[in-house]
């Protein structure tokens, strides 16, 4: 699992571009991208993650017989007392 935290500093276009290129590369290899439980795209995920201020996302890699098939991004929700 990989965690992403946005909003601690200004997220710039360079960060969004790097994330987009990374996810596009995965999609080009046939790996599906998911955001909050729904099938998504590299562009939508990069945009959403860079727009969501003060949010933390967990990246989860889904393998089938040792082959990467999906990458899921889920927002970490903090339970309030």
For the record, the structure tokens of 55 come out as 């949010």
Burial-class residue 81 by CB neighbours within 10 Å (0-12, 13-18, 19+). Answer: exposed
Question: What proportion of the chain, given as a percentage, has pLDDT over 90?
Answer: 52
Per-residue pLDDT tens over the stretch 65-78: 999 999 999 988 87
Per-residue pLDDT tens over the stretch 3-49: 455 444 444 577 788 899 999 999 999 999 999 999 999 999 988 88
Q: Which of these, 17, 61, 76, lies nearest to 43 by C-alpha position?
A: 17
For the record, the structure tokens of 16 come out as 């969004």
Predicted structure pTM score = 0.76
């Amino acid at each position: 699992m990989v965690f992403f935290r946005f909003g601690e500093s200004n997220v710039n276009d360079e960060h969004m571009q790097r994330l987009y290129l990374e996810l596009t590369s995965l999609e080009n290899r046939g790996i599906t991208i998911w955001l909050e439980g729904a099938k998504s795209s590299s562009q939508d995920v990069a945009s959403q993650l860079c727009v969501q201020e003060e949010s933390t996302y967990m990246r989860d890699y889904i393998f089938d017989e040792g082959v990467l098939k999906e990458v899921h991004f889920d927002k970490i929700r903090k339970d309030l007392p």
